Amino acid sequence: VENFHQTASNNDAAVSAAMARHTKLVEALQSAEEIPTEKRSATREGYLRKLFRALTQFATGYAARETVASCESLVPACLYGLRGGVAKPAEQYAACRVLEATAVILGGDNDEYFESIEKYLRRVVMTTTRAVQVRGAALRTLCMANFICSTDTDITNSLLALCEEVCAPEYRNESASSILRATALDCWALLSTTIHDAFIAGDDDFQTGRGLQILPLLSNCLDHTSVELRSAAGECVALIHESRLKLGVEKEDCDNASDRRYRRGSWDGSEWEVIMDEVKQRVAELSVESGRHMSKKAKKEQRATFREFMATIVDDEPPKEVITFRGGTLELNSWKEVVQLNFIRHCLQGGFQIQLLTNDTLHAIFGADGRMLGNAQTLSQLEKRMIFSKTSDAAKAADQNMTKNRRNRNNVKNHFLTADGDDI
């Protein structure tokens, strides 16, 4: 009996938390209507930040997705924040982040949403006078919306071409920022996970894979002074090498690295063998690099990152990453999955875990089990904070309700009438 009451109490708390999240989502979406009429850029940015937090942390489940989809003022409010010369860079950046998170919430088969924002974001990316952070955020938003919402492969190819242009040392006769170049490579990696391995690493009489065409560029990026650009390039090479390995004849008895190397897709004897040997050597060097030009923390992170790349590029071993969440663990065994996870996690930030639990699109991408469990003993630390903490949405809603009731009682006690019936 005690366990039954405890379970019922936990279910009530979970329902209250869900209702509180939905209320906050609706309030935030309503604030989108005020953005076009607000004159101060800082205030508009505040509204957009509130929207981003609501979308990533409060937009959970089917009802929330429908609520977001039916909000006609959301996209116009964000596009209003992208106006060059009027909106400050911080507002433009916030607008891009809201549009990116919206794509994750809306889910797949939403070509209409992608088409409504594509030309505006392309314009931001291609305008070299815009802030680098804004252009990078716009490119990430474009690629996320294409990855999640769009079904047009021609548009995917055009975005891959745009990423390849932006990640070059020069773009539109101007020197390109290393930060923007690294972002472009991250976006290229995400979009390349949606197309067949042959179009990435294939090489025959008819066509050359996109990944092979940018190998010289990636090799140069590995020699750049920017840690972010080197890491982005290394991840792209690992992804291309993985695609190359998947090409060729599959053998059931290919249990070790040597079998995989020689019985599946290989660089041996190809025109790319020399440049891949150079890349492998450079990746191995970066995995053990030392020196005074980098901080101790940066060197440690770079070594760990490039050791993972080296395991695939040099030893032909797949990556292994385990994400723990309530309901089990999520095991990633390919660079395609790792790239997708990192990109989505960067987008959602603090809302990543709750979206992983409740977002059907993410369940489909990663094969995760996001069923909500009512037993408090099986709740994760994150969900316990969201449901039982004094700072949780449910607790805040209960506190606000209690304050309102207390105010009403006091008003009743202090409500006096004169002889004429007028309040005093």
Residue type, position 162, single letter? L
Confidence of residue 367 (pLDDT cuts 50, 70, 90): confident
Confidence of residue 395 (pLDDT cuts 50, 70, 90): low
- Cβ(55)–Cβ(68) under 8 Å? yes
**Which H or E run contains 332?**
strand 328-332
Between strands 170-171 and 321-325, the pairing is: unpaired
The CA distance from 101 to 39, in Å, is 25
Model confidence, pTM:
0.82
Phi, psi (5° rounding) for residue 74?
-65, -55
Residue with tokens 């997708």: 340
Task: Compute CA distances 99 → 32, 93, 124, 221, 337, whole Å.
Answer: 12, 10, 14, 30, 23
Structural domains of the chain, with CATH: 15-151 (1.25.10), 156-248+266-317 (1.25.40)
- Cβ(393)–Cβ(386) under 8 Å? yes
Q: pLDDT digits over 288-335, tens only?
A: 887 667 788 888 888 999 999 999 999 999 998 888 766 567 889 999
Q: pLDDT digits over 378-388, tens only?
A: 455 555 555 44
Burial of 263 (0-12, 13-18, 19+ CB in 10 A): middle
Q: pLDDT digits over 85-142, tens only?
A: 788 999 999 999 999 999 999 999 999 999 999 999 999 999 999 999 999 999 999 9
Number of H helices, E strands in the chain: 21, 4
